[in-house]
Amino acid sequence: MAKPSTSAAPRLSKKDYEARAAVLREKLVQLQVRLKEAPFKILLIVAGVEGAGTGDLLNTLGSWLDPRGVETFSFRDPSDEERERPFLWRFWRSLPTNGRIGIYAGSWYTETLRAALHEPPAQQDLSPEFERIRHFEKLHADDGTLIIKVWLNLSKTAQGRRLRALSSDESTAWRVSPDHWQYHRHYARLSRLAISIHRATHRPHAPWTILDAEDDRARDLDTASLLIARFQAHLRKHGRPLKTKAPSAATRRSLRPAGLKRLQSLPLDQQLSAADYEAKREKWLGKLNQAVRTASAAKRSIVFAFEGWDAAGKGGAIRRLTSAIDVRDYRVIPVAKPTDEEKAHHYLWRFWRNIPRAGLTAIFDRSWYGRVLVERLEGFARDDEWKRAYAEINDFEQQLTARGIIVVKFWLHIGRDEQLRRFRAREETTYKRHKINDEDWRNRRKWDAYEVAVGDMLALTDTTTAPWHLIPANNKRHARLQILKTACKQIETALA
Amino acid sequence: MAKPSTSAAPRLSKKDYEARAAVLREKLVQLQVRLKEAPFKILLIVAGVEGAGTGDLLNTLGSWLDPRGVETFSFRDPSDEERERPFLWRFWRSLPTNGRIGIYAGSWYTETLRAALHEPPAQQDLSPEFERIRHFEKLHADDGTLIIKVWLNLSKTAQGRRLRALSSDESTAWRVSPDHWQYHRHYARLSRLAISIHRATHRPHAPWTILDAEDDRARDLDTASLLIARFQAHLRKHGRPLKTKAPSAATRRSLRPAGLKRLQSLPLDQQLSAADYEAKREKWLGKLNQAVRTASAAKRSIVFAFEGWDAAGKGGAIRRLTSAIDVRDYRVIPVAKPTDEEKAHHYLWRFWRNIPRAGLTAIFDRSWYGRVLVERLEGFARDDEWKRAYAEINDFEQQLTARGIIVVKFWLHIGRDEQLRRFRAREETTYKRHKINDEDWRNRRKWDAYEVAVGDMLALTDTTTAPWHLIPANNKRHARLQILKTACKQIETALA
């Protein structure tokens, strides 16, 4: 774009620019070809001083990159669907799949920056925001994502010169808005804020690169060079999926034996007669109905996670639960093997997507705990991955509860013999036969190892705000009633 | 569920119920296995008299079907993201992919039914709603979708009996809300409304089936039987994709030669000097910036569709356009070959998904017109499909403009020689070589056939609210400036 030159320093000549651009463009094309097959994505975050030319840079990158592999994001005020979920939800929903580039003209940094324009930073404690951002970036970097953060810098003098030059020419004056001048006036304060953001969120896996944007041509070339250099380094380290084929011996060793003890000491022989069950069930369904409606009226959402042994009765328990809830107020989300799209994302992505709107209920039939159960034991997650997952999951649930969402987690526990009885019964009933397959029998043979994993899960993710409820489920009626009671109490406590 | 019997008629015995259920469940399992591979989806819409047991029916179906192939939908009040788009947007975004079942406990009928509870139907003219619903269902039925609409009926006497029985038992009284009684009082009016809905939307491809819901067991069995019977009949007709391999001769014959004449008579030799362009460009960018901001402030969205010959300069023109728009206010959507997920949906699905929020701009680099261009000529769409598409597209755009969205469509036209020159230039530039491939050369050899298709498109989709703008593009500067001017005028006219 041949806009009036606003630079005092000598601008890169057009000829030099074009020669260097030609080289970089070819490399960018090669980058995209290789990225397409790579097991990771690139997030390129562009932020910076007002007037440094984010929009122009995006346009240049748009012409250099193959648009089919790129998505560009920017964010206006959040919609109500976004405001009703945790802060990071709108960013989770925007993430590209592996093999693609997401360019963020606005990002998880934008709101902090914008808010600071109107409020002196001294009055704000930004540490929770920074903490949240660090977690988010770490989570994705750990997953292999290449995070590139560019800060376009412009000195106060250069900014003023650019704004004046644009304003003085009638045909370009529209490029300068009152906001620009306000940013100019508060240059020093915003600079200090930028420095504190950089310090707080500059990490080896997600470093900031500060680029001088005074020369628009150099700015575009430098950004492209950075993208290429970071990609090449990343490819050497993360070019191949690291998945081990066979699960390591570590998957079978308990990290925290207390959980296993808790599991094994659960008495399983409770009984509940059909008559007793009939007598109590409707009462508790009614209480649950009331509790869910009260939560809904208060715009509080509920997230149920149902985990348990194969054939422990998760499906049946869920149907009893939902019979008390208005069909418009809940959704059941069955969690099976991830789809191709889900595999090209972080393992938590498909759960983030399904966080309910304010006042609604989501019931997960199996959940994010698959990461530390089946994925741990079948080698779908490496040791470092499933070991890291406990903290990631606690952080995920903490974001839900902090947003007012009520999280209720059940482990349905049955004995080994009871499972065998149910497996055989399933095999004998024509229309239930599809519910049982070789995998179920394989998992059953690994009972001891699963028990260890369940124990670790109970010990490491039993938090105050999202505790585990162990349900003895050898007797289905007893289990169902206890689930109803527990759900009621949890919701009522959360609302109290 | 053993709720108090509320039926006067003899209820199906538990034994008979279980025997019949066992047979149906096995068939449902088989259905899902076959559906998984079928090139269509099933939409099962359940509506009916209040108290007829939609929720219980859903729970039963949930226990009979494999949950991994089913999604259940219901709808509360629309969110702002939904309200900002055409009425049907929220239903488009909910559709399952081919091979799956979507069960709609709430649907495109719900709002009409709910509104009527509070307003006597005499005061409403429902014909536009009915028309919209008929179009929507026809569109998907034409695409192969199996649409099953069930109306659960209950006589006023049976409804009253059920409500009284539930209310009189302390443990079940919670199942009856004040709304239920209101529905009961207005039974006659709602019945008349139901009849008018059935009449207006009962079509061979989307018929209503009215089921008596007095006996809850029979209700569940009848619904499952209906699902199985309709599926088997549908499978015989639509079990295999009908796609022809080679495009028929009809694809090369013009439907409306006037369009072709219009295209061929476009003068292409306009010139614009670099100096003239430089002098005028910023002024028009400024005007466009103003127009887009005015539209945005008025919460009016803008949808640009860029079509044109390969190498006609769509990408460059789009980047000039976006250089005038705040990066937070627009998104460019490059349209390439559909992904697997997109292929498992109606061809308009991926465009519905990308309708912008109120006040934002979406720029489609290629668009839904692919259906009547490349898909027509390469045989990706059958003759009946692409011929039907003109009306479908007009209806789609009409829904956008009716919602206040400004639709601006460009066809960038270059000469055959000019295209050849640009192809060769691309091949000679290392970093542009990836922009040209065998397919481009193949398309070029079909120039005459494409011209016919473009002509038909111009003639058949040039509507008052979404007219086509033909842009002579042999001279890039001239084309870019004309696009800026046209965009401004279209937006200003729409806002006037």
Q: Residues 19-58, chain B: which have Cβ within 8 Å of A? A: 22, 25-26, 28-29, 54-56, 58
Q: Residues 276-295, chain B: which have Cβ within 8 Å of A? A: 278, 282-283, 285-286, 289-290
Give the bridge partners for B362, in sequence order: B303, B331
Average pLDDT, chain A: 92
Which of B68, B316, B327 is the closest to A54 by Cβ? B327
- CATH number, domain B14-238, options 3.40.50.300, 3.30.43.10, 2.40.10.170, 3.30.390.10: 3.40.50.300
For residue A366, the chain B residues in CB contact (below 8 A) are none
Question: Does any CB of chain A come closer than 8 Å to the CB of residue B496?
Answer: no
Q: Chain A residue with minimal CA distance to B176?
A: A286
Is the CB of residue B24 less than 8 Å from the CB of residue B221? yes
How far apart CA B114 and CA B470 sit, in angstroms, is 46
Q: Residues 372-411, chain B: which have Cβ within 8 Å of A? A: none
B172–A282: do the CB atoms touch at under 8 Å? yes
A334–B68: do the CB atoms touch at under 8 Å? yes
Give the pLDDT confidence of B122-174 residue by residue, as tens digits: 666 788 889 999 999 999 999 999 999 999 999 999 999 999 999 999 888 99
Indicate the helix (H) or strand (E) that contains A390.
helix A383-402
Average pLDDT, chain B: 92
Residue B437 confidence (pLDDT): 87
B79–A75: do the CB atoms touch at under 8 Å? no
B328–A68: do the CB atoms touch at under 8 Å? no
Mean pLDDT value across residues B425-445: 89
Residue B430 confidence (pLDDT): 83
Per-residue pLDDT for B200 more than 70? Answer: yes
Q: Chain A residue with minimal CA distance to B57?
A: A323
Q: Residues 442-471, chain A: which have Cβ within 8 Å of B? A: none
Residue B240 confidence (pLDDT): 77
Residue A358, C-beta contacts closer than 8 angstroms, at least 6 positions apart? A84, A299, A300, A301
Which of A29, A54, A319 is the closest to B59 by Cβ? A319
Residue B305 confidence (pLDDT): 98
Per-residue pLDDT for B3 more than 60? Answer: no
Residue A4 confidence (pLDDT): 46
Residue A1 confidence (pLDDT): 38
- Provide the pLDDT confidence category of residue B7 given band limits of 50, 70 and 90: low
Question: In which residue ranges of chain A is pLDDT below 70?
Answer: 1-9, 116-117, 119-124, 241-245
How far apart CA B87 and CA B132 sit, in angstroms, is 9
Per-residue pLDDT for B4 more than 60? Answer: no
Residue A355, min C-alpha distance to chain B (Å): 15
Residue B92, min C-alpha distance to chain A (Å): 17
- Provide the pLDDT confidence category of residue B206 given band limits of 50, 70 and 90: very high
B55–A327: do the CB atoms touch at under 8 Å? yes
How far apart CA A304 and CA A324 sit, in angstroms, is 14
Output the furthest CA–CA distance in chain A (Å, rounded).
Answer: 90
Is the CB of residue A400 less than 8 Å from the CB of residue A461? no
Give the pLDDT confidence of A472-485 residue by residue, as tens digits: 999 999 999 999 99
Residue A2 confidence (pLDDT): 40
Which of A332, A357, A434 is the closest to B66 by Cβ? A434
How far apart CA A468 and CA B253 sit, in angstroms, is 68
Question: Does any CB of chain B come closer than 8 Å to the CB of residue A174?
Answer: yes
B72–A331: do the CB atoms touch at under 8 Å? yes
Which of B79, B172, B316 is the closest to A81 by Cβ? B79
Mean pLDDT value across residues B172-182: 90
How far apart CA A15 and CA A454 sit, in angstroms, is 65
Which of B56, B62, B328 is the closest to A76 by Cβ? B328
Written as one letter, the residue type at A486 is T
Question: Does any CB of chain B come closer than 8 Å to the CB of residue A131?
Answer: no
Residue B244 confidence (pLDDT): 62
As to burial, measured by CB atoms within 10 angstroms (0-12 exposed, 13-18 middle, 19+ buried), residue B127 is exposed
Is the CB of residue B377 less than 8 Å from the CB of residue B453? yes
Residue B303, min C-alpha distance to chain A (Å): 17
How far apart CA A90 and CA A75 sit, in angstroms, is 9
Indicate the helix (H) or strand (E) that contains B332.
strand B330-334
A59–B22: do the CB atoms touch at under 8 Å? no
A55–B365: do the CB atoms touch at under 8 Å? no
Mean pLDDT value across residues B68-94: 93
Q: Residues 198-257, chain B: which have Cβ within 8 Å of A? A: none
A72–B29: do the CB atoms touch at under 8 Å? no
Give the bridge partners for B365, in sequence order: B306, B334
Which of B79, B105, B341 is the closest to A341 by Cβ? B341
Q: Structural domain boundaries of chain A?
A: 14-238, 249-495
For residue A316, the chain B residues in CB contact (below 8 A) are 63
Residue A18 confidence (pLDDT): 95
Residue A14 confidence (pLDDT): 94
Structure tokens at B386: 């692409």
Written as one letter, the residue type at B72 is T
> How many Cβ atoms sit within 10 Å of the Cβ of residue A305?
23
Per-residue pLDDT for B1 more than 70? Answer: no
Complex ipTM: 0.90
B14-238 and B249-495 share one CATH topology?
yes
Structure tokens at B241: 């994709």
Give the pLDDT confidence of A318-331 residue by residue, as tens digits: 999 999 999 889 99
- DSSP type of residue B51: T
Which of B54, B171, B325 is the closest to A283 by Cβ? B171
CATH of domain B249-495: 3.40.50.300
Is the CB of residue A59 less than 8 Å from the CB of residue A34? no
Percent of chain B with pLDDT over 90: 81
B340–A336: do the CB atoms touch at under 8 Å? no
Question: Does any CB of chain B come closer than 8 Å to the CB of residue A360?
Answer: yes
Per-residue pLDDT for B304 more than 90? Answer: yes
Residue B106, min C-alpha distance to chain A (Å): 7
DSSP A258-273: HHHHHHHT--------
Give the bridge partners for A468, in sequence order: A409
Per-residue pLDDT for B117 more than 90? Answer: no
Question: Does any CB of chain B come closer than 8 Å to the CB of residue A80?
Answer: yes
For residue B18, the chain A residues in CB contact (below 8 A) are none
How far apart CA A283 and CA A277 sit, in angstroms, is 10
Mutate to test the interface with A, among B321, B325, B431 (most CBs of A within 10 A): B431
